[in-house]
Chain A
Amino acid sequence: DTGVSQNPRHKITKRGQNVTFRCDPISEHNRLYWYRQTLGQGPEFLTYFQNEAQLEKSRLLSDRFSAERPKGSFSTLEIQRTEQGDSAMYLCASSYISTNEKLFFGSGTQLSVL
């Protein structure tokens, strides 16, 4: 499968713990996005990278969230001191840079904070 890959698929954690998710984009794509999706809602933008540079962060991304994309390849999203409100599906997407890009999504990581 040469699509966007995300790991793990599911993560259950206790409130206050740290969690880290990984995304491997389509290899030739230079933009990588993180979105969050809660039940019954559309994906909400969190942040994106162009190559290794993090170009924009949503105000949804509190100080407890950090994302990296070392060497412009895979990306990680870490949530520190998780809260129950962090429970959601975390989606990664990648695209070619252009004025408007077709986003290709991964299957997501479903986070449950108990």
Chain B
Amino acid sequence: GENVEQHPSTLSVQEGDSAVIKCTYSDSASNYFPWYKQELGKRPQLIIDIRSNVGEKKDQRIAVTLNKTAKHFSLHITETQPEDSAVYFCAASTPWRQLTFGSGTQLTVLP
């Protein structure tokens, strides 16, 4: 089955700096890669996703890049703010199959 590795497990950045979280996947048939943000005690919320037919997608301060050849994808957050502090999960799925999640990255934005 699919295996998703995520790193780093923790990341601290100064407010205003950029944060990058990286994931690798094992199944070359995977074609959907969402990112979820989970604040303490709350539900995971979808923040951005990308499909394998595109290499990059941006939504305001958030962007995701995908390298299908290397089987890795990354989340980029620019101009970080304290409210960006949360756990971020990457995930991957093949067509018609369930999502497999990474182990998460605790992002702390220091004021």
Query: Is the C-beta of A53 less than 8 angstroms from some C-beta in chain B?
Result: no
CB contacts under 8 Å to A, within B1-53, are 4, 6, 31-32, 34, 36, 42-46, 49, 51
Which of A40-48, A61-69, A71-79 makes up part of the contact surface? A40-48
Known contacts A100-B32, A100-B51; A42 and B42 CB within 8 A of each other: no
Known contacts A42-B89, A43-B89, A105-B45; A100 and B103 CB within 8 A of each other: no
B98 and A48 contact, CB distance less than 8 A: yes
Question: A44, A56, A103 — which one has the most chain B CB atoms within 10 A of its CB?
Answer: A103
- Which residues of A have CB within 8 Å of B45? 105
Interface of A is mostly: loop
Known contacts A91-B44, A100-B93; A45 and B51 CB within 8 A of each other: no
Name B100's closest neighbour in chain A (CB-CB). Answer: A45
User: Please, what's the 1-or-0 string for A31-61, where 1 marks a CB less than 8 Å from any CB in chain B?
Assistant: 0010000001111110010000000100000
- Which residues of B have CB within 8 Å of A102? 34, 46, 49
Instruction: Tell me how far the C-beta of B50 lies from the nearest C-beta in chain A, rounded to whole angstroms.
Output: 10
Query: Is the C-beta of B86 less than 8 angstroms from some C-beta in chain A?
Result: no
Name B101's closest neighbour in chain A (CB-CB). Answer: A42
- Which residues of B have CB within 8 Å of A33? 98
| Docked complex Cα distance between A102 and B6 (Å) | 20
- Which residues of B have CB within 8 Å of A43? 44, 89, 99, 101
A100 and B31 contact, CB distance less than 8 A: yes
B46 and A40 contact, CB distance less than 8 A: no
User: Please, what's the 1-or-0 string for B72-111, where 1 marks a CB less than 8 Å from any CB in chain A?
Assistant: 0000000000000000010101011011111110000000
Name A102's closest neighbour in chain B (CB-CB). Answer: B46
Chain A residues in contact with chain B, CB under 8 A? Answer: 4, 33, 40-45, 48, 56, 91, 99-100, 102-108
